Amino acid sequence: MEEPDHATILGTGTMAPSIATAFAAAGIDVTIWGRRADAVTHAVEQTHAATTWLHSEGLTTDRLGAIDGSDRLEDAVDGATLAVEAVSEDTRVKRELYARVEAVADPSMVLASTTSGLGPDELAADVDHPERFLVLHFWNPAHLIPLVEVLGGTRTDPQLVTQASRLLRRMGKHPVELHRFVPGFIGTRLQQAVVREAIALFEAGVADAADIDAATRLSFGARFPVMGPLETCDLGGLDVVAAIHDYLLADLDTSDAPQPALTRRVDHGQLGAKTGRGFYDWTDRDAGALSSDRDRELLDRIRRLRAQGQLAVPSAGWDHP
């Protein structure tokens, strides 16, 4: 596989500019494609701003990748070694885009999806070169969250997964390779298990939203930057964990559909910060300030992980096996 000195990001939504920033910060030229010229322009501006910010914080390579965009698919993939699809979580939409991409891209180009939980075999069912298709699940915000879940399909060249993980490490990311597909992969499943229980506690009137969030952030959540759940189990003693599970698991929420506390709000257009109300009243809260606090915390975490040798400093290029 060729060294990716040019990557294309397919999409202009929430994830696309952040993923583009991760590549540009590692010195890889990046092109953003979208269906509308105005959306492409906005995504490119967001990418420039985020990359400049990372550079000012000393968290990029010396040479930043060039950033541009196009609403012409053939121009966007021209010369690209890798294309990362970041459009809506709709299998039909993704498959239609893959067909368009393969009609104009170099046959050797690697095609990846940043789906948060759809299966690679399902997504690549109709692609011409399934051996060069895989999932690279970046987390939002992709330029600040180190983890990327990597998963090939049953027809993916195993070497591609190895090479993709090597590239991600050189970009300053921490790849996690899944041995097999499960819906939602690892991170989304763990996150939504907590979210489901949090909503169930809220619906049952156990506590209000702020206290449920505080109980998450300031107890077990406070340990997660250092210890994962299985490390925590081992340190606490598996006999203790087994005893807790013996009396508690049967009482945990097992809803297999969205809970009423969630669907009621969605049905009434209460979608969270973007509409002014969700589990919180956002008319008197600053969502932008909260996001900025999150980003600063993540930035500081990257510095600590690099200082501890747990994350590599970005170094552009695909290291051949």
Whether residue 46 is found in the same domain as residue 69: yes
Whether residue 125 is found in the same domain as residue 75: yes
Whether residue 23 is found in the same domain as residue 155: yes
Q: Identify the H or E element spanning 239.
A: helix 238-248
Whether residue 122 is found in the same domain as residue 217: no
* pLDDT of 3 above 80: no
Report CA dihedral (169, 164, 315, 45) to the nearest 10 degrees: -100
Examine residue 159 and state whether it is found in any structural domain, yes or no. yes
Examine residue 217 and state whether it is found in any structural domain, yes or no. yes
DSSP string, 100-161: HHHHHS-TT-EEEE--SS--HHHHTTT-S-GGGEEEEEE-SSTTT--EEEEEE-TTS-HHHH
**How many Å apart are CA 146 and CA 311, to the nearest integer?**
8
Whether residue 19 is found in the same domain as residue 107: yes
Whether residue 164 is found in the same domain as residue 232: no
The model's pLDDT over 274-308, given as tens digits with 9 standing for 90+, comes to 999 999 999 999 999 999 999 999 999 999 999 99
Whether residue 177 is found in the same domain as residue 207: no
The model's pLDDT over 121-135, given as tens digits with 9 standing for 90+, comes to 999 999 999 999 999
Whether residue 142 is found in the same domain as residue 12: yes
Domain boundary among 157, 183, 209: 183
Residue 26: C-alpha distances to residues 70, 80, 96 (Å): 21, 16, 30
Contacts 24+ apart (CB under 8 A), 178-184: 178/149, 178/150, 178/151, 181/119, 181/120, 181/121, 181/151, 181/153, 183/117, 183/118, 183/119, 184/116, 184/117
Helix (H, G, I), strand (E, B) or coil at 97: helix
Residue 5: band (very low, low, confident or very high) from pLDDT cuts 50, 70, 90 = confident
Whether residue 33 is found in the same domain as residue 172: yes
How many structural domains are present in the chain? 3
Whether residue 152 is found in the same domain as residue 94: yes
Structure tokens at 95: 């498959």
Q: Going along 153-204, which residue ranges are E strands?
A: 174-177
Q: Give the domain extent around 195.
A: 186-255
The model's pLDDT over 257-277, given as tens digits with 9 standing for 90+, comes to 999 999 999 999 999 999 999
Q: What pLDDT shows up at residue 319?
A: 44
* pLDDT of 11 above 80: yes
